[in-house]
Chain A
Amino acid sequence: MLGLFGYGIWLAALLLDGIFVVCALGRREFFRYLPLNLYILLCGVVNFGLFICSRDFGVHSREYFYSYYSSDIVLAILMYVVIAELFSRVFEDTDFSRYVRGAAAILLVATALFAFISVRSSTGHALTTQFVIELEQDLNFVGVVLMYILWGAVIKLRERRVRIVQVVLALGVYFSALAGSYALRNLFPSLAFTALQWLPPLSGLWLIVALTYTFVRVPDDARLSPAHTLVTSH
């Protein structure tokens, strides 16, 4: 069983996933931010599926383990599509935009291969657990690096769209929290079932809270000043 705290996080995330998608549909913004909305929709479906799985098999079962990590890796791959779209938006006025998707796909494959090779070269047991932890750590750290590049581009290109800026920063917080927690689990496997186990769901909750705040409270045409200190809404 998940416990009261676990169910609280799960329920809050599920509700916010629903609110986010309904608001996007209500404001006719679903297709304007299609990859992000699909990602949030899939997060909701995965959350619901994992709840059913935990209820039927328990959170320490093999079934839950496979469901959790396989769905998480699918979500991580979809997140790369969201990031590629963010890159396209930030670089839309430059020549770089046409190379963004290809570069993101190459990076994703390279990271998965790197994680696989590093696990293959180790002689430890419990290969599957170690592989997914390492893959998660690497995928999320690549996310951190991508967010740093994107944040650098936002500053360099003087990106003024508040939504873009806040989404980039919220994703940066999300990826760095996840990469850090998986790296700690990789370093200290005995900590896997301590407070560290709550960091990934809390990171997911942070992301949906931040995204809901941005898309519900910040108008699409809100702009930051070049100094990133002021904003105007038209």
Chain B
Amino acid sequence: MIAALICVASVAAFVQFLISYCHSVVAAFGKMELTPRVREVAGMGDRAVAADDFARFLQLLHLCPEHNADQLAIRAVKIYYALLRAIEVASRALIPGVSAWASRERVGCSHFAAVALERRMEFSRDLFTRQASIR
């Protein structure tokens, strides 16, 4: 009986801690403003980052040379984004509040991907400058 209670409580705690952890990783990028260059590359114009922009930012990220430092975080946020999408779809009809929260979190994920893209573009530019100076 005690083991069953511990099992149920642990699973609930696991989900809550994991979502909070992912949120804290994504939130760490929330305040960083996007430069006009990234907006231009992503074709965003002046509009704010939207939840569905995540896939486009990821596609653009794959076009840049890989930077080992952000690989792990990007993979983790990809999983978190997929989880949020599933939660949003599943809860849309039953619990609209949860669906709205998941949508807001997805915006955070998109912003994270945009900042990662910006960093990779900066990394690529530095790499190009260094190679040009060697030649």
Using a CB–CB distance below 8 Å, which chain A residues touch chain B?
Answer: 118, 137-138, 140-141, 144, 147-148, 151, 162, 165-166, 169-170, 172-173, 175-177, 179-180, 183-184, 186-187, 209-210, 213, 217-218, 222, 224-225, 228-232
Contact = CB atoms under 8 A, between A and B. Distances in A.
Contact of A172 (B13, B25, B30): B13
Interface of A is mostly: helix
Contacts, number: 89
A231 B17 contact: no
B11 A176 contact: yes
A162 B24 contact: yes
12 contacts: A137-B3, A138-B6, A148-B13, A162-B24, A169-B20, A169-B24, A180-B10, A187-B7, A218-B28, A222-B28, A225-B31, A231-B29
- Give the dominant DSSP class at B's interface: helix
Interface residues of B, number: 27
A148 B16 CA distance: 10
Given A176-B14, A180-B7, A187-B3, A231 B31 contact: yes
B69 interface: yes
Contacts of B16: 172
Given A183-B3, A217-B69, A232-B31, A141 B21 contact: no
